[in-house]
Amino acid sequence: MNFEDYRGIWVFIEIKDGKVAPVSLELLGAGRELADKRKSQLAGLLIGDGVEEYVQTLYEYGADTVYVYDDPLFNHYRTESFMRAVFDCCEKHKPEVLLYGATANGKDLASAVATDLPTGLTADTTILDIEEDTGLLLASRPAFGGNIMATILCKKYRPQMATVRPKVMKALTPQEGRSGELVRETVDLKEDDIRTKVLEIVRETTKKSSIDEADIIVAGGKGLGSKAGFELIHQFAQVIGAAVGGSRDVVEAGWIPHQNQVGQTGLTVTPKIYFAIGISGAIQHIVGMQNSGLIIAINKDPDAPIFQTCHYGIVGDAHEVVPLLIKAFEKALDRRVSHV
Amino acid sequence: MLHIVACIKQVPDTKIIKMNPKTNTMDRASAPAILNPYDAHAVEEAVRLKKRYGGLVSVLTMGPPPAVKAIKKCIEIGADEGYMISDRAFAGADTLATSYALTKALEKISKIHPIDLIICGKMTIDGDTGQVGPGIARRLDIPPLTSVKKVVEVNEKERYMVIHRKLEDGYEVIKSPLPCLLAVEKEINKVPYSPLPNMMKAARYKPIIWAVADLEDIDRTQLGLKGSPTIVSKVWAPPKPQGGTILDGTNDQQVQQLLDIVLEKKELFQ
Ligand SMILES: Cc1cc2nc3c(=O)[nH]c(=O)nc-3n(C[C@H](O)[C@H](O)[C@H](O)COP(=O)(O)OP(=O)(O)OC[C@H]3O[C@@H](n4cnc5c(N)ncnc54)[C@H](O)[C@@H]3O)c2cc1C
Ligand SMILES: Cc1cc2nc3c(=O)[nH]c(=O)nc-3n(C[C@H](O)[C@H](O)[C@H](O)COP(=O)(O)OP(=O)(O)OC[C@H]3O[C@@H](n4cnc5c(N)ncnc54)[C@H](O)[C@@H]3O)c2cc1C
């Protein structure tokens, strides 16, 4: 394998709900930095049915080139069809690095492609860097349930591949009118060649949780004592117009639904303000909220680890402090809410 | 007869694991070894399918000799047979080398009983990459189905199955030919307490153990550390955040201070 032949940083572009998935834009931001460091090009790899309309967005977010596979065959994500496109494109154009969002589909696709190429694949990366002269990708990731960080290298194979967690990289501010090169590609594949069939897609009416996009989150933990005690969290959230989140332990206790869980096995959130009330601050919780703008912790234990991660903390009993907060905010915001 | 093989791994219990603050390394002795929780669901699903359709459930693990304990746990859950591949040569395998070794073992198992279905966990709680399942499927050239939250139907005669694959806002219904590989979510089932007869069987159970030499057509350069393209070059404890300002005074005073801090972002409170 001649490493000289492998050039450029690529990002697999995921389309979700009729737009480019936020993680793909974040990866273009991270990829731009890597490409500049290597004095090489940044490319997007876009696969789908009727997806050419997204190309301009990709240029604006930093891509120099976009490889497009546009075919009804790619109407739904299926491992077998998508991996063929990615595999062929890698063989043909030989990228040095290929990044995927660590989403369900991104991880599925990356694992399949890595096996066939074959090459190394670093999972769930949260920190990316590249050696300027050698092009060696330094991908760091949490492991052992977040207890340690590990830097993973792939020295002997190209392309170097990694899946990257959503919300840890930053998208660039889009540059309106920026343009690039469009490269249309096709695969030699027919519907009959693909063994799996998507029979139906069911959208669940219990839509995705609002904590994903909220500016303010009030999150509660086991320290609230009971489902009834957790009502304080709902009341406070209502007064300040926040979404409600929680630790895994309160989800397991059945106080709030799973889609409100923040953390490693829940959602990664980045609100402008995050209240952590009666939450101890276990590492698995911290990884899901540490990039919030302003973190405020309320806990009765002065040694609770959450105080290491917060910007401001109150040591006190939630059952005393939160009612005071509710009153103070109601007054300050001139807002009365009936507590039923 | 439906033959289902669940791939399982023994892992340190990351809830209990402690870090050595001086060396920033893991104190492995502090963590008891357990069956990877996601794999318990994989085995349970295999056992449920056996109850529904009849058949045979085998489990396969790659690991050091103590991993026999994880196989016994699967026998408790209701598996019939346990296979283990264990050899120095497998040590240090990343997901590419792991899926290669497991595939070679699966090929050997399929000569004893042809395999209809392979079930893996969504991921492990130590490496937690979730890459091994799709890797095995590619190597065997069978469809990988990840994020599986429900098995709707297995049709052994017509050689297909139907599953629900979890999406962020719902699920998709997928039909796949058999054999195929599932990587299952925790919500697919609940693992109940094991019945006493299973526990008695497990206590006596001895799995079939193969070394590298027992596997056929194996390319040793693809195994273990040598066969692993990824290298863990550095391990460190996640940086400790410095900690914030702890407010003081009475509860009322603290709340007032907090109000001032937060209301600086007044634009957020429409
Ligand atoms: C693989 C793995 C994945 C995980 N994923 C997640 C995840 O995604 N999200 C997550 O949150 N956790 C996750 N966990 C669990 C995590 O390790 C912790 O167990 C969990 O976050 C603890 O929840 P808690 O802080 O609500 O409860 P506890 O740890 O019980 O903490 C309660 C806190 O409340 C305080 N308190 C008690 N009474 C009061 C009071 N009256 N007023 C104020 N404070 C009070 C206590 O001092 C304590 O600090 C995961 C664990 C593992 C092993
Ligand atoms: C700190 C650290 C970081 C690592 N990071 C990476 C990385 O980024 N990329 C990489 O390629 N490797 C990585 N590895 C190596 C990886 O953990 C091992 O390859 C491991 O053997 C398999 O990966 P996993 O535990 O992530 O399994 P996963 O892919 O998460 O496991 C999915 C399923 O595959 C099956 N399975 C997995 N392992 C076995 C087994 N031994 N026997 C039977 N069934 C099994 C189980 O059903 C399991 O539920 C890392 C290891 C360490 C210690």
In a domain, A198, yes or no: no
Q: How high is the mean pLDDT of chain A?
A: 94
Q: Which atom of ligand 2 is nearest to the CA of A162?
A: 8
Q: Which of A143, A165, A193 is the last residue of a domain?
A: A193
**Domain of residue A126, CATH code:** 3.40.50.620
DSSP string, B91-149: TT--HHHHHHHHHHHHHHHHHHS--SEEEEES--SSS----HHHHHHHHHT--EEEEEE
Same domain for A156 and A16: yes
Question: How many other CB atoms are found less than 10 A from the CB of residue B214?
Answer: 14
Same domain for A180 and A82: yes
pLDDT band at A340 (very low <50, low <70, confident <90, very high): very low
Which residues from B are below 8 Å from A107, CB to CB? 130-131, 146
More confident residue, A130 or B263: A130
In a domain, A206, yes or no: no
In a domain, A224, yes or no: yes
Give per-residue pLDDT as tens, B149-196.
Answer: 999 999 999 999 999 999 878 899 999 999 999 999 999 999 999 999
Answer whether residue A207 shows pLDDT above 60.
no
Same domain for A257 and A154: no
Which residues in chain A (183-212) have CB-CB distances under 8 A to chain B? Answer: 195-204, 207-208
In a domain, A220, yes or no: yes
Q: Point out the residue among B138, B242, B263 whose CB comes nearest to the CB of A115.
A: B138
Atom 15 in ligand 2: which residue has the minimum CA distance?
Answer: B94
Q: Which domain does A120 fall in, by range? A: 3-193
Instruction: Give me the mean pLDDT over the B244-252 stretch.
Output: 89
Q: Point out the residue among B168, B177, B244 whose CB comes nearest to the CB of A208.
A: B168
Atom 4 in ligand 1: which residue has the minimum CA distance?
Answer: A284
Superfamily holding B3-227: HUPs (3.40.50.620)
Which residues from A are below 8 Å from B153, CB to CB? none
Give per-residue pLDDT as tens, A315-334.
Answer: 999 999 999 999 999 988 87
Atom 14 in ligand 1: which residue has the minimum CA distance?
Answer: A284
Total of domains in chain A = 2
Would you say the CB of residue A143 lies under 6 angstroms from ligand 2?
yes
Residue A316 has a pLDDT of 95
Q: What is the ipTM of this complex?
A: 0.90
Q: Which of A138, A167, A193 is the last residue of a domain?
A: A193
**Domain of residue A303, CATH code:** 3.40.50.1220
Domain ranges for chain B, please list them. 3-227
Q: Which of A158, A193, A228 is the last residue of a domain?
A: A193
Q: What is the CA radius of gyration of chain B?
A: 23
- Give the phi and the psi of residue A83 in degrees, each rounded to 5: -65, -30
Q: Which atom of ligand 1 is nearest to the CA of A283?
A: 17
Instruction: Give me the mean pLDDT over the B136-149 stretch.
Output: 98
Whole-angstrom distance, CA of residue B135 vs CA of residue A112:
6
Would you say the CB of residue A212 lies under 6 angstroms from ligand 1?
no
pTM of the predicted model as reported, rounded to 2 decimal places:
0.84
DSSP string, A60-118: HTT-SEEEEEE-GGGSS--HHHHHHHHHHHHHHH--SEEEEESSHHHHHHHHHHHHHTT
